[in-house]
Amino acid sequence: MSDHPLKQIGEFGLIGRIQSWFNEETSDLLGIGDDCTVIPRGDDECDLVTTDLLIEGTHFLFDKITPEDLGHKSLAVNLSDIAAMGGQPKHVWLAIGLTDRADLPWLERFFNGMNKLARKHHVRLMGGDTTRSQKHLVINIMVSGTAAASQVKFRSSARPGDVLFVTGTLGNSGGGLQLLLGNHHNTEDPAERNLIRAHNRPDPAVNAGLWLGIQPGVHALIDLSDGISSDAGHVANRSGVTIALELTDLPIGADLRKVALKHGWDPVQLACSAGEDYVLFGSCDPDAWESLRVSYRKEIGAELHRVGDVRDRPETDAGGDPSESKPGLLSGGQVSYLKNGTPIDFNKHGFDHFKS
């Protein structure tokens, strides 16, 4: 689709167009263009709603993922969106378009994978739609959840001076995808198996999101689905700030380092742009950072990794990516990259379904 106009405007440009076609005031509609829609409900409560459409051939290859893993992943990517708002997921709707290859035994295994993850996070299947698809398997999942209105975390809340952090290592999923696409992975190698598992069975940061949601020092929050380059761009544009990422601080695990060395990949490129890690990326008040880091380790039993800081947008920068500059929806911002504190030219974008 090289001459397809959607390629020029990209996914977020398209969302801006859809907004303009609906000609709606967006200022009173929270969460448009964020991970979830936010619907206020009297008191301090709000509903969160997210939906993700997964289509065979675009989002997964039928022969490269087990039905259990696909069931798990389809739900996981939606739970991750609720986590990214600091919310508690509650209800799930599944609409599925089945091909001939997705027969009853396949479907039972798919539901087993989904059900295990649903039980782990106490979410419940409430309904949906089942139908046939001629060519490609289609899975649409919608998850609703709740959060205290005062604690919902938006992409637009990053402030100059904030410390930037991620809740886990980056690039594992991208490394796993490379192995699957290359058809030359060694299933005897635990490092390769781990990367493929990271790609096929991402672990949504539900508990981390809930905990970060109630920390007043945490400002912006987003989940890394498209790669930190792209997702940090969304935070930068929505918040009207510069996101400065220190490339040497990006957490890259031992498995990815080892496999990347073997195959001649650049792990930093994978960490920045491969996407689908489904860890959380956030910003926090610099004065709160130390205690946040310590409490997180104690409460969640894992590490927050500092990956950069938020800066003022340069005066001369009128707006960043013009496709994200719809009034009321998106404002200008930029992502800059540092190596050991020195700005470098590193222009790697994350994944966009229409641009890629």
State the residues that interact with its own copies by CB under 8 A.
1, 4-6, 9, 11, 14-15, 17-18, 21-22, 24, 29, 31-32, 36-37, 39, 49-53, 55, 57-59, 91, 93, 95-98, 100, 103-104, 107-108, 111-112, 115, 124-136, 138, 140, 142, 353-354
Q: How far is the CB of 231 from its own copies (least distance, A)?
A: 15
Distance CA 356, CA 350 (A): 9
Beta carbon nearer to its own copies, 192 or 352: 352
As a whole number of angstroms, the distance between CA 233 and CA 263 comes to 29
In the block, residue with structure tokens 């590193």:
346
CA dihedral sign of residues 133, 137, 138, 144: positive
* CB closer to its own copies out of 111 and 265: 111
Q: Which is nearer to its own copies, 35 or 309 (CB)?
A: 35
| Shortest distance, position 38 Cβ to its own copies, whole Å | 9
- In angstroms, what is the minimal distance from the CB of 196 to its own copies? 23
CB of 319 to its own copies, least distance (A): 22
Nearer to its own copies, 131 or 340 (CB): 131
The CA distance from 274 to 259, in Å, is: 15
CB of 105 to its own copies, least distance (A): 9
Report the amino acid identity of residue 113: G
Please report the sign of the dihedral spanned by the C-alpha atoms of residue 253, residue 260, residue 262, residue 199: positive
- Residue 199: burial class (beta carbons within 10 Å; 0-12, 13-18, 19+): buried
Contact 232, 334 (CB under 8 A): no
Q: Which is nearer to its own copies, 112 or 291 (CB)?
A: 112
